[in-house]
Each structure stands twice: as C-alpha cells, then as structure tokens.
Amino acid sequence: MLLLSRMGCPAAQALFEDYAQAAMEHFEATDTLSNLVGQHGLFEEQKEDVERAHEKCSAARLALEQHWAQHSCHISEELKLQSGS
Ligand SMILES: [Zn+2]
C-alpha cells in the first residue's frame, strides 16, 4: 500500500506517515460509525469523531501537498493520494 521506500525526502516521508495514520484513523472511525447506525446517541458521538478525523486527515494531506509544492521532492508517480477529501 505505501511506497515510502521511493521517497527520498525524510520530511516528506514523515508528513506522508502522518497522513497515512490520519487516513487510517478516519477509515476506522467511519467503520465504527457504520456499526452504530440505529443507536442514536452513540451514532451522533461517533459522527463527531469521524468529522474530527476527517479534518485531521485533510490537514495532514494539505501539509504534505504543500511540502511537495515547495520542495519539489515528489518523485513517485505511483503514489496517489485518496481523491475526494
Ligand atoms: Zn521534501
């Protein structure tokens, strides 16, 4: 899944790992949410967690993209970020 070995820039790699971690947390929060459908109070609480995770994921992705834009160290064509943040 991750092609970190192709990234020569340690800063970009660290940012990418942050993004990957945030994306995983968002995925897990969304997965948990899907199991709480019908449980109204718990569902609303988990929905807030999903939104927080989504914001964290978006911020991490933006930081990575800004680094790439400024540093021009994005050499991996195979590395595609999830679309549709
Ligand atoms: Zn870099």
Can you tell me which residue has the tokens 């050499």?
75
Q: Near ion ligand 1, which residues have CB within 5 Å? A: 9, 11-12, 71, 73
Query: For residue 74, what pLDDT band results from cuts at 50, 70 and 90?
Result: confident
Asked if residue 60 lies in contact with residue 15, where contact means CB atoms within 8 angstroms, the answer is: yes
Domain ranges of the chain: 12-83
For 7, other C-beta atoms within 10 Å of its C-beta total: 20
**Model confidence pLDDT, tens digit, residues 1-31:** 455 445 678 999 999 999 999 999 999 999 9
This prediction has a pTM of: 0.74
For residue 76, the CA-to-ligand 1 centroid distance in Å is 12
For 33, other C-beta atoms within 10 Å of its C-beta total: 18
